[in-house]
Amino acid sequence: MVNGWIILDKPHGLGSTQGVAAVKRNLRQAGFGKVKVGHGGTLDPLATGVLPIAVGEATKLAGRMLDASKEYAFTIRFGAETDTLDLEGKVIATSDVWPSLEEIAAVLPRFTGPIEQVPPAYSAILIDGERAYDRARAGEAVEMKSRSVTIHSLQVASASAGEVTLIAHVSKGTYIRSLARDVAQALGTVGHVTMLRRLRAGPFGLAEAISLDKLNDVGKGAPLEHVLLPLQAGLVDIPALDLTPEQARAVRQGRVLDGLPHDDGLYWVRSGLVPVALVQLSGSVLTVARGFNLPDVAE
């Protein structure tokens, strides 16, 4: 059994589903057979950086990873807006206004905290069962509804003539391309994204990420443990509870445990070093949210 996380430093031009396919292919070539694989948050092909890929039982946590906050570095080039809000699109608006670094820094607090944001027309959002980007590519005028997102922090990383690189820590559902568009417009100009790199997704950062070449080495015989993180690596943001063998058996059977002296909230429980389940504790009563089918070390 193969269970855990492979954190890919996704290269430019590779889609998220292609990243998942690369993991599947390499595991198959390494002799692990058919393994369930999924990703924890889409990255545009033009973007690079942290793409968490869940393997085996870790796929039960992919939904949590989608809901996790993300951190990005991105560059806005001022003077032109494209229909895709990035380098791929055609220019639809221009401006000869070039904001200063002081003006950029002064406007960023307006985009920090809860904000309303209109997603790009070239996005994977479903509109009447069809992807927005399919409608946009067909020449349709796509009307996108605004959504509430949270920008936890937004700061200048560097600046040069006509462009600025920002670091943003954002909630789920945030579109960096829209953020770049809105920052440029607030500065009295237009702009588009020329570089987008995800620095962190939930608990995973670039320090844990591996290159596509290192992933491909697994298919050529390199040890899987050099690239595979344990399932519990995706749970470091919530507390763990230790169970006795009897309690672990009860939880694996989906039974409710009572009389646990812990605060209400979300926990993960383990038997020794083995994750047993993601659980909810309420009024000292433990109920199973997601169970993990992992063998005990002794088995």
Gap between the Cα atoms of 239 and 119, Å rounded = 34
Catalytic residue flag (residue 44): yes
Compute how many other C-beta atoms are within 10 angstroms of the C-beta atom of residue 283: 7
Backbone φ/ψ region at 221: left (φ over 0), alpha (ψ -120 to 50), beta: left
CA atoms within 13 A on the CB side of 180: 31
Retrieve residue 52's tokens: 């968490």
Name all contacts of 283-286 with Cβ < 8 Å and 24+ positions apart: 284/258, 284/259, 284/260, 285/256, 285/257, 285/258, 285/260, 286/251, 286/256, 286/257, 286/258, 286/260
* Contact present, 62 and 235 (Cβ < 8 Å): no
Q: How far is CA 203 from CA 94, 103, 226, 238, in A?
A: 39, 33, 19, 10
Contact between residue 72 and residue 167 where contact means Cβ atoms under 8 Å apart: yes
Q: Please give the DSSP secondary-structure letter assigned to residue 144.
A: P
For 71, 181, 231, the CA distances from 74, given in Å and listed in that order, are: 10, 12, 30
CA 85, chain centre distance (Å) = 20
User: Regarding beta strands 265-271 and 240-242, do their DSSP bridges make them parallel or antiparallel, or are they unpaired?
Assistant: parallel
Q: Which residue has the tokens 């659980």?
A: 279
Q: Which of 44, 213, 264, 296 does the annotation list as catalytic?
A: 44
**Residues acting as catalytic residues:** 44
